[in-house]
């Protein structure tokens, strides 16, 4: 049914801590998984992606883990900084004829305290 409103999960951390943001996805046919960061007044900004044939991928200060068995995706941010404060979204694309279509999770609000 329709949701009345989204209540975004929140994560509050201290500067320098490691952050882990989780996401459950629903489509077992999804081929690409992407993490986006959205700051106030801006569009989603690409952080890192992972393809379905991988289970881990690392970037600069970020790591994405994919567990296809339980349809779970996580984003780990090392040494979190105040500039990392934003809403984080996971997104999936099924590939094939799903042209241009990303299915987004509800998002998680990350707040980093100095």
Partner 1 sequence: KAGVTQTPRYLIKTRGQQVTLSCSPISGHRSVSWYQQTPGQGLQFLFEYFSETQRNKGNFPGRFSGRQFSNSRSEMNVSTLELGDSALYLCASSLIGQGSGYTFGSGTRLTVV
Contacting residues toward partner 1, per CB under 8 A: 2-6, 32-34, 36, 41-46, 49, 51, 89, 91, 93, 95, 97-107
Q: How far is the CB of 44 from partner 1 (least distance, A)?
A: 5
- Would you say 15 or 68 has its CB closer to partner 1? 68
- Residue 18 to residues 25, 55, 100, Cα–Cα distance (Å): 23, 20, 32
Rounded Cα distance, 105 and 103, in Å = 7
- Would you say 13 or 102 has its CB closer to partner 1? 102
- Would you say 26 or 42 has its CB closer to partner 1? 42
Of 112, 95, 106, 113, residue with least CA distance to 9: 106
């Amino acid at each position: 049914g329709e949701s009345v409103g989204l209540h975004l999960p929140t994560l509050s951390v201290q500067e320098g801590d490691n952050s882990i943001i989780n996401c459950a996805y629903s489509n077992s046919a999804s081929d690409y998984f992407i993490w986006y960061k959205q700051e106030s007044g801006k569009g989603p900004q690409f952080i890192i992606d992972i393809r379905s044939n991988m289970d881990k991928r690392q970037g600069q200060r970020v790591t994405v883990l994919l567990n296809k068995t339980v349809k779970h995706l996580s984003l780990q941010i090392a040494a979190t900084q105040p500039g990392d404060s934003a809403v984080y979204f996971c997104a999936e694309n099924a590939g094939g004829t799903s042209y241009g279509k990303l299915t987004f999770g509800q998002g998680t609000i990350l707040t980093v305290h100095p």
